[in-house]
Amino acid sequence: MALVFTFPCGRCGKKYSVYYPKAFVYSVYGTGTPAQGAREDAEEQAAGAVDAAKRRAEAVGNVWVDVSQQPKITCTCGKNLDLDLAHHPRVPQRKGVSGARQAGVIAFPSTPKGGHGTHKGTPGMPKASPSS
């Protein structure tokens, strides 16, 4: 199956269906060898999977792009689009994280000063007697 992602232009919304050959993806992410990717690409071409994906994309009005031939394009609105996956982070990056953060941990308020048994002003709770 041909690997095709559809991206809208960030400015005008025009849609681009971008074909990523496996040889290219394997070289970027190391999930396979370039020779293995080239072999899979050749099988997809022979089976007609790439042509079928291109026909489907163009039938719905998307612009077809083969990233191995054209990794950067300029949209008709003038915005430059970099389609090369190697130039984009694999995990979204957050701006300016303040301090360490743990996922799944619920922050509880700190223990009130004075320790246990000093429930001052809490209705229904006995007041602590001063220790001698």
Structure tokens at 13: 């919304």
Mean pLDDT within 118-127: 58
Per the CB < 8 A criterion, the answer to whether 62 and 6 are in contact is yes
Alpha carbon of residue 27 to chain centroid: 19
Structure tokens at 112: 């009130």
The percent of residues above 70 in pLDDT, for the chain, comes to: 66
What distance, in Å, lies between the first and last C-alpha atoms of the chain?
Answer: 81
- Distances in whole angstroms, Cα of residue 53 to Cα of each of 10, 62, 109, 112: 23, 11, 55, 64
Pairwise CA distance, residues 12 & 9, whole Å: 6
pLDDT band at 105 (very low <50, low <70, confident <90, very high): low
- pLDDT per position as a tens digit, 51-103: 999 999 999 999 999 988 888 999 999 999 988 777 766 544 445 444 555 55
